[in-house]
Amino acid sequence: MSLFRREDPHSLAAPYALDALEPPERIRFERHMKDCDRCTAEVRALSEDAVRLAWSTAAPPPAAMRDRVMLAVRTTPQDPAPQGASHASARTRATQLPPHVWGAQPPPRQRRRIPLFVPFATATAAAALVVASLFAVQANRTQDRLTAEQDRSREIAHVLAAPDARAGSGRDGRGRTIGVIASATEGSAVVTLGGYGAPAGGRVHQLWLMRPGAQPRSLGLFASDTPLVATGLGASATSLAVTVEPAGGSPQPTTQPIVQLALKSVGFGE
């Protein structure tokens, strides 16, 4: 915009610190700051002043907000550290970076929005627990892996967000668990295994849908401890079963289930 050029670009530090620039102007001014120490220093100081205005507005948030945020956190992978920095060494990194100005580079918008905050009435603390174990955040994820995790997070969030989402779990004789959060109306479920580890010899854990009078249907393979999202579950679904299968899985179960979970408690088969 020509207006900007006619103005003194150095004069925008205060409006910038107050978030009072229009987005194109904001971007231009951020570019200007890269080459202008004076504006950079000024924005740094003025931004701290502006933040003082924020402190005076503090107010207790609704209690339910905390539960929603915590649940979202448990199912949301973190973005990798900026280039040249390693996740594992946040502290070291912090001291190594040149102290350039706070405010000049606000956190970029996320690449994609993950709609985690649809209200969910019945996803309970149990559901949160089931999900909690799954997303132990790992350092050094590849971008592919991260993208896949974000996709899965979104699917999980979708199941959690269903108004009829319910959680159930089963435990075998050795204390190992299978957990499920399912929505009968969505016909989908998030399934997790706890304590099983990876089967020996490159074999895999395969999840099956059991229905009366029908062959088991494969719902997919578990990859280590990460949850599996199963979709297309009809109302007639009666239970889930897990078997150990050769690498790549099988068209039909070739071994006895190691664990089975009835779906009635989560609203199916009624």
Q: Which entry of other proteins, Zn ion, none binds 10, CB below 5 to 8 A by partner kind?
A: Zn ion
Judged by CB, which is closer to other proteins: 104, or 210? 104
Distance CA 197, CA 211 (A): 27
Distance CA 136, CA 121 (A): 25
Q: Which of residues 91-130 bind other proteins (CB under 8 A)?
A: 91, 93-95, 97-103, 106-107, 110, 116-117
Distance CA 16, CA 105 (A): 12
Q: Which of residues 4-33 bind other proteins (CB under 8 A)?
A: 7, 11-15, 17-22
Q: Of the listed pieces 64-72, 170-178, 209-217, 230-238, which binds other proteins according to CB under 8 A? A: 64-72
Q: Give the phi and the psi of residue 15 in degrees, each rounded to 5.
A: -60, -35
Q: Which of 24, 31, 37, 48 binds other proteins (CB under 8 A)?
A: 48
Minimum Å gap between C-beta 26 and other proteins is 9
Judged by CB, which is closer to Zn ion: 39, or 160? 39
CB neighbour class for 261 (10 Å; exposed up to 12, middle 13-18, buried from 19):
buried
Residue (of 137, 43, 34) closest to 90 by Cα position? 137
The 10 Å Cβ neighbour count of residue 161 is: 18
Do residues 269 and 235 make contact, with C-beta atoms less than 8 angstroms apart? yes
Q: Report helix, strand and coil shares of the chain as percent, to nearest 5.
A: 35, 15, 45
Q: Which entry of Zn ion, other proteins, none binds 200, CB below 5 to 8 A by partner kind?
A: none
Q: Which of residues 33-92 bind Zn ion (CB under 5 A)?
A: 36, 39
Site membership for other proteins, residue 90 (CB under 8 A):
yes
Q: Which of 37, 38, 125, 138 binds other proteins (CB under 8 A)?
A: 138
Q: Which residues bind Zn ion (CB under 5 A)?
A: 10, 36, 39
